Structure 1
């Protein structure tokens, strides 16, 4: 995923090496979070670069173990988050406002929905837009574990499974984290830090070492989640450049050079401190992505895509419960392999992105009710994802079924293959102005890389500095470099396989934090609801008393002011004899 929470940056940056208050560099960090996170990340980068394929094999072993023993846990947990999010929105908790003042929403409804729409965009959508439905249709990772047929019905199911991975479920994850952060920041006036979202359950421990552990997990998970996206983006950039014959077949060294160049662009964005500039860049990037999608829809099989959008959306909701709880239990080892390639990978990837996207969504949602928050965060990005994958993935499936094909190949052993790094470019090749459009697609990925790295480093830096909303430049530069370094390490340690394995692994500890967030939210919302009901009861009692007094006075003045006073303040009258 990719988004740009630059709206969270309220002021221009300070010179490198100082914080807004002018402290020295070491005074701007939260040491108990900053140093453990830094050491863990640097240790992984060093091991991955030195170990290479050995580390990649180790990551694969850990991934297989987690999918084998915890795949059911991921499936059940994410489905539970969907139920939890819907409950939050539809229950009486939905009336709670994410603010402790009466100023109303900070952003208008249109602007807020637009920013949520922007949060649904990212490198992942561009990378998997054409490729994922084709992967399912072709039976990848291997035909023995395929879960759809290789015909028209299978093509339909391929798109529906893609909807599962990019629809309500990932955004339910972001509802949990975003809602917890929004309530802690906007209602309880806490700094932007994950520890405060679990404070109602942990109590004073949230201020100590246990809270530090929570924030360290969030920082490390976010860095690896962003690095996973950057790794995907770089492989696609390289694939596009090779497709245009600008470079030869991408090697690891080429990928490392591209990561270095694009990370340098991100650093320029960080150091410049031009928050409005990067904000405009993000808006331009999103507009270009939408324009690309519309171009493919108009130049491609338009009527087919319109029909398929309606049909696939209906099939998704019809089979939502069965899809939500699918674990491929009867498929044996092939089922475990498929889960590791797809569903478990996505659930881990989304969880690792949750602190980043959660901070962004929470930042723009001040003044919204819980019901507005849930409906907006769940529905707007989900609808856009459905449209995006129908246009790109549906166009690829249409070409395989009814057109010239060429998007699904075979390897030397006869297994189906889909080169996810260039399927988008192959699809664009037969459309008008193909060279220009492919160049635009590559530029979109580069811009997503820059905005994701810059915005991600800001969010990570806020978490590592104890909630400072405007941390110094030097630390943002550090985290941006580390995100690029982790991306390099993952590429050298096994490429896409390593990216998948790390996403699945790093999400496991943070998923426990998210469970605690749910309990904390329920406890806080019940307390707030109780206070609201008590206040309403007192108000109604006072209104009723005033109404009775006014009615009796109008009926003959039978009561005086003393008669309507509380018993404790009412003077005693002498009894007549």
Structure 2
């Protein structure tokens, strides 16, 4: 087992976060105002950049799938996958979008339908279609394309070229990364990771609080959320002490089992045919209009542009900020798969599962709203899911299971993040020490608490958008470095193709 050593990346990253936490404690208004101003500037001035760069990531992924490079293995020729396909999907899905899907599954579609449709008149049949189509857009191949780029680069350089498992090491083919520049790149990656993970943990705490508040007399507010984060921090640090193959693997499979149970429940007791029809119709429109949605900026309509800034740009920044964590984790569990298998699996399968999830939960909430049965859109975002369950048999049981699912997703995400941050700040070690993971676990929770204290979810979102911007530039450099490395593989690909021809000829001499 390799020995993990911390260095300057660890100490500078921790120092930056401690400074942010101190400012958040003693001057919360300053933290909120600064992040809000930076977020507004980036969204307004560079919205076009986000749309172009994220679409480019998807195009690169599709090219990898169909190109000859897809035959290259993430590892040595004889390496086999460490995890079976089901466990692999469960682990990447739990790390990638778990809390987000539960938080937004019933809320985002009904909000677009009833309150703020992107292009249609609210409350109409057309608004229903638009609500699902744009939800698919925000949670589909663009989101997973961002994750795929990071994971692919990290896994290729780590397992194929024996590089360190750090973000800077993926740029070794186009620049020297052993000095200050490499350390700076890794620090940017770490701070982006912390902001993305802290945002999602904040969402999780708010929704657990929302569920408890919806079902009981427990109040909703910062101190309740603080206690929730405190309890969950203890649980995920306990899980982190057990290692990757125990805590995270077991929790990931548990997450998928509970999520599947909730999905099947709503599919059966909810509007089954309605949801399936919505899924099929929206899937077709999603692929039909994907290019137009990918570059939609509405430069001449202020209201439409505000919607894009608040939703699409927010999501692209969220996925970019979240991507160093998710990408590193997916890379860690993907050794032995080919580039084609890996890219197709990460890009397409989770997207399809997410589309089904939103069709079932979003379809259920929209139908309740459109028929006048319940005003789901008037509930707080974190309470929408529980508002849907209230109108079904065994609603209390399902709500309790949902809170359990959010908690286990919370634990899995934070547990995975402590591993990834430990890896990134221990010179790429695949076995960061428990001490380093515990420090990062505490810092993640402290960051989430301070951001909630200083400005609630808005402060979380602002910070994440700001942190994502510089990391998006690093991602572009990672793509350039990857393709330079892949070009060097061409002789190997030709030799491998020739060997297969010769082996086939020997096996079939006729």
Q: TM-score, normalised by structure 1?
A: 0.83
Choose the corresponding residue for 2:429, options 459, 468, 478. 468
Match of 1:238 in 2: 209
CA contact (8 A) 1:117 1:380 kept: no
Choose the corresponding residue for 1:209, options 177, 180, 192. 180
Match of 1:572 in 2: none
Match of 2:471 in 1: 510
Shift of 1:105: 3.5
How far apart, CA to CA, are the structure 1 residues paired with 2:383 and 2:37? Answer: 28
Tell me the secondary structure at the aligned position of residue 151 of structure 2: helix
Shift of 1:338: 2.0
Match of 1:7 in 2: none
Match of 1:553 in 2: none
Match of 2:108 in 1: 132
How far apart, CA to CA, are the structure 2 residues paired with 1:264 and 1:79? Answer: 39
- Residue 398, structure 1, aligned to residue 402, structure 2: no
Shift of 1:540: 8.5
CA contact (8 A) 2:167 2:186 kept: yes
Match of 1:156 in 2: 129
Q: How many residues align?
A: 506
CA contact (8 A) 1:67 1:340 kept: yes
Task: In structure 1, list runs of 5 or more residues that go unmatched.
Answer: 1-10, 12-19, 22-27, 410-417, 547-577
Q: Which moved further from structure 2: 481-490 or 393-402?
A: 393-402
CA contact (8 A) 1:121 1:286 kept: no
Tell me the secondary structure at the aligned position of residue 330 of structure 1: coil
In structure 2, the CA distance between the partners of 1:263 and 1:117, relative to structure 1 (3 Å rule), is closer
In structure 2, the CA distance between the partners of 1:72 and 1:374, relative to structure 1 (3 Å rule), is same
- 1:284-295 to 2 correspondences below 5 Å: 284-295=254-265
Provide the alpha-carbon RMSD of the alignment.
Answer: 2.4
Match of 1:276 in 2: 246
Match of 1:299 in 2: 269
Task: In structure 2, list runs of 5 or more residues that go unmatched.
Answer: none
How far apart, CA to CA, are the structure 1 residues paired with 2:245 and 2:159? Answer: 22
Match of 1:569 in 2: none
How far apart, CA to CA, are the structure 1 residues paired with 2:94 and 2:243? Answer: 21
In structure 2, the CA distance between the partners of 1:47 and 1:337, relative to structure 1 (3 Å rule), is farther
How far apart, CA to CA, are the structure 1 residues paired with 2:435 and 2:138? Answer: 37
1:494-522 Cα offsets, whole Å, 9 max, x none, are 11211211111110111011000111111
CA contact (8 A) 1:195 1:206 kept: yes
How far apart, CA to CA, are the structure 1 residues paired with 2:498 and 2:246? Answer: 47
CA contact (8 A) 1:461 1:479 kept: yes
CA contact (8 A) 1:243 1:425 kept: yes
Choose the corresponding residue for 1:147, options 102, 111, 119. 119
Tell me the secondary structure at the aligned position of residue 404 of structure 2: helix
1:324-352 Cα offsets, whole Å, 9 max, x none, are 111132222x3443233211111111111
Match of 1:181 in 2: 154
How far apart, CA to CA, are the structure 2 residues paired with 1:328 and 1:377? Answer: 31
Match of 2:18 in 1: 42
How far apart, CA to CA, are the structure 1 residues paired with 2:81 and 2:240? Answer: 29
| Structure ID, larger Rg | 1
Match of 1:450 in 2: 411
How far apart, CA to CA, are the structure 2 residues paired with 1:270 and 1:491? Answer: 24
- Residue 84, structure 1, aligned to residue 60, structure 2: yes
- Residue 494, structure 1, aligned to residue 455, structure 2: yes
- Residue 408, structure 1, aligned to residue 377, structure 2: yes
CA contact (8 A) 1:192 1:468 kept: yes
Match of 1:420 in 2: 381
- Residue 435, structure 1, aligned to residue 396, structure 2: yes
How far apart, CA to CA, are the structure 1 residues paired with 2:62 and 2:432? Answer: 35
Tell me the secondary structure at the aligned position of residue 530 of structure 1: helix
How far apart, CA to CA, are the structure 1 residues paired with 2:473 and 2:335? Answer: 26
Tell me the secondary structure at the aligned position of residue 207 of structure 1: coil
In structure 2, the CA distance between the partners of 1:425 and 1:337, relative to structure 1 (3 Å rule), is same
How far apart, CA to CA, are the structure 1 residues paired with 2:272 and 2:493? Answer: 52
